[in-house]
Amino acid sequence: MSQPCLHLRLISVLLLCCILFASHVLMITALVCRPDQIQALVQFKNEFESNGCNRSDYLNGVQCDNSTGAVTKLQLPSGCFTGVLKPNSSLFGFKHLRYLNLSHNNFTSSSLPFEFSSLKRLEVLSLSSNGFIGQVPSSFSNLIHLTHLNLSHNELTGRKVPEWLWKLPHLSLVNLVNNSFTGFEGSSDVFLNSSVQLLDFAYNSMTGELPVPPPNIIYLSAWNNSFTGNIPLQVCDRSSLTVLDLSYNKLTGPIPQCLSNLKIVNLRKNNLEGSIPDEFYSGGLTQTLDVGYNRLTGKLPRSLLNCSFLRFLSVDNNRIDDTFPFWLKALPNLQVFTLRSNRFFGHLSPPDKGPLSFPELRILELSDNNFTGSLPPSFFVNWKASAIKQGKVLTSYNTIDFSGNKLEGQIPESIGLLKALIALNLSNNAFTGHIPLSLANVTELESLDLSKNHLSGTIPRELGSLSFLAYISVAHNQLKGEIPQGPQFSGQAETSFEGNAGLCGLPLQGTCFAPPEQQPEEEDEEEEEEVLNWKAVVIGYGPGLLSGLLLAHVTASYKPKWYLKIVGLDKPKEVKPVRLFMSLDSRWDSYNNHVESESDT
């Protein structure tokens, strides 16, 4: 037999073995399960419309006990089933189930059946995002082996969370997010004997005082409710507590003096008073501190210098009266820093006249304060995180907002070093001089607002090379000459250029080339020469390329999704949440993703 034939047969045998092995892997789940269990699984599937999945998708989420052949795990594919989960469903015949996940299907208008209590061996029960209505049945109290309960994103209504839930002896994770619970049955220490470690009841309709956290709590989220009163002092006794999110409530009183113990602290949009505690000890683990939209006074605590892991710091919309905290540039990991709408004052240029160096800073919001003085030419030299061009990915978003202050002098040419800058807002100041030509080097720029200053000269035509520039405003300055043509400029609203008596050309009304009025011959020749010069400049530059999304300037009323995502974590009560920013009226989406990942862990 020839050598090529031997090779061909050998390859054929290997392919056949691979096919048989793959088939065995695909069928192993079905082979382990008893025939009656497989039949019950098919029957359960047939109780619903399941056009969104096939049998293999369905069986991939099934596990059976190797010795008994009974189904012990059932995880439905997302979006697979539609219909009503009835009390007589074959689901409740799987008495050996330990893990049941029906999340992200459509059991619209289904109440939670009492028959769940027949699954007495359940350890994990996830029913989130299904459209369940009504109340949590008291029969759930029979699920004494339950460790994880997820009822989030349903339409459970009308009553308080039952007290018996916290008596389940092994319960460690409870997720009640986005329902309509109005509070908790029992007293303020209803959690006192609970074993729960991860507890999330955000985005409900809860009122009254916040209950004392469980003794072993690690993660506590109660944002977007209507809790009143003080933050329980017992949070300082919870040594395991890592994440505390009480934002978007109506809490009053002081901030507890134990924040260094926590990695994430979000107290945004409450009615808290007093000053930020100066109790951040050396070696503290705080990574995120958001106390924006409260009634805080005093100064920024200098002990924040001890928070070497701090990445996100927001104190916006308070009444803090202080100078710019140059000392914070010593924090090696600070990425987001907002002081917006406070009473900060003084110069932004460091006392030593050197550059303002924040090695990892990506978002700096200082708008609506009382900062004064000029910015030295080297102001942006050592902003390394914004200078590294990282591509069009979420982690590269960089924003600088100095609007609404009293800054003066020229805009530093070093702004051109910030290659990854996405949005720049210097509006409502007193800047003078020309628009820096170096802005043409900021190739990722999408939003530029220089309005309401005292800028003079012409608009640099080089800005037409900014391919992603979707919003620009230079209104109410002292600019002159023709507005550069090209999609970056002609697509803007007329209001982006108004208030400059010397500007002409689209999108403003009128033209730079109107017929000259009858004048003496000598003046007529000069004007003709000037017009020809302008034409030469126009011909010398080609049109730009319009791409990217329309970004408005950094204001409290506008919240683009990219800004929400880098900080994440957006969540106003009046707006459906995910988690933080442009005006920081939302959340660090940093939070939601971080929160969910911790919950998964």
pTM of the prediction?
0.79
Give me the phi and psi of 252, to 5 degrees please: -125, 180
What are residue 239's DSSP bridge partners? none
Secondary structure (H, E, C), 360-379: CCCEEECCCCEEEEECCCCC
Mean pLDDT to the nearest integer, 49-70: 83
- Rg from Cα positions in the chain: 31
The angle at the Cα of 370, spanning 364 to 375, to the nearest 5 degrees, equals 60
pLDDT band at 513 (very low <50, low <70, confident <90, very high): low
Residue-wise pLDDT for 310-335, tens only, equals: 999 999 999 999 999 999 988 999 99
* Across 132-141, 143-152, 487-496, 516-525, least confident range: 516-525
CA torsion angle 517 523 526 530 (round to 10): -30
Burial class (CB in 10 A: 0-12, 13-18, 19+), 373: middle
Q: What is the mean pLDDT of residues 167-191?
A: 95
Q: How many CB atoms lie within 10 A of CB 412?
A: 20
pLDDT at 283: 81
Q: In which band, very low, low, confident or very high, does the pLDDT at 53 lie, cut at 50, 70 and 90?
A: confident
Q: CA-CA distance, 481 to 402, in Å (whole number)?
A: 27
Q: pLDDT band at residue 389, thresholds of 50, 70 and 90?
A: low
Higher pLDDT, residue 378 or 152: 152
Concatenating the DSSP letter of every residue in 208-243 gives EEPPPPPTT-SEEE--SSEEESPPPGGGGG-TT--E
How far out from the chain centre does Cα 250 lie?
22
Q: How far is CA 63 from the centre of its chain?
A: 36
User: β-strands 62-64, 71-75: how paired?
Assistant: antiparallel
Would you say residue 167 has pLDDT above 90? Answer: yes
- Domain range summary for the chain, segments of one domain joined by +: 346-512+536-555
User: Letter for the amino acid at 93?
Assistant: G
Tell me the mean pLDDT in the region 74-85: 90
Residue 544's pLDDT is: 34
Residue 431's alpha-carbon distances to 249, 265, 411, in angstroms, are: 39, 37, 7
**3-state class (DSSP) for residue 584:** coil
- When pLDDT is averaged across residues 38-64 and rounded to a whole number, the result is 84
Q: How many C-beta neighbours within 10 Å does residue 4 have?
A: 8
**For residue 206, is the peptide bond before it cis, meaning its omega torsion is within 30 degrees of 0?**
no
Lowest mean pLDDT among 167-181, 329-343, 381-395, 462-476: 381-395
- Provide the 3-class DSSP secondary structure of residue 133: strand
On the question of pLDDT at 425 being above 80, the answer is yes
C-alpha dihedral over 583, 587, 588, 590, to 10 degrees? -150
Largest CA distance in the chain: 107
pLDDT tens digits for 272-314?
999 999 999 888 889 999 999 999 999 999 999 999 999 999 9
Please report, for residues 333, 362, 387, 558, the alpha-carbon distance to residue 330 in angstroms, rounded to integers and kept in the order given.
9, 15, 18, 31
CATH class of 346-512+536-555: alpha beta
Mean pLDDT within 338-344: 98
pLDDT digits (tens, 9 = 90+) for 350-362: 776 566 778 888 9
With a cut of 90, say whether residue 441 has pLDDT above it: yes
pLDDT at res. 4: 45
Question: Percent of the chain, pLDDT > 70?
Answer: 76
Does 191 have pLDDT greater than 50?
Answer: yes
Rounded Cα–Cα distance for residues 526 and 239 (Å): 80
Please say whether the beta carbons of 474 and 451 come within 8 A.
Answer: yes
Position 10 pLDDT exceeds 50: no
Nearest-5° angle of CA 576, CA 578, CA 582? 95
Residues 4-25 have a mean pLDDT of 41
Residue 493 has pLDDT above 70, yes or no: yes
Q: How far apart are CA 121 and CA 141, in angstroms?
A: 13
**Can you tell me the mean pLDDT for 37-58?**
83
Residue 585 has pLDDT above 50, yes or no: no
Find tokens 């978003």 and name the residue.
Answer: 397
| 3-state SS class at 250 | coil
Query: What's residue 397's pLDDT?
Result: 58
Of the candidate ranges 97-101, 226-230, 391-395, 484-488, the one whose mean pLDDT is the lowest:
391-395
Report how far residue 301's alpha carbon sits from residue 100's, in angstroms, rounded to the nearest whole number: 48
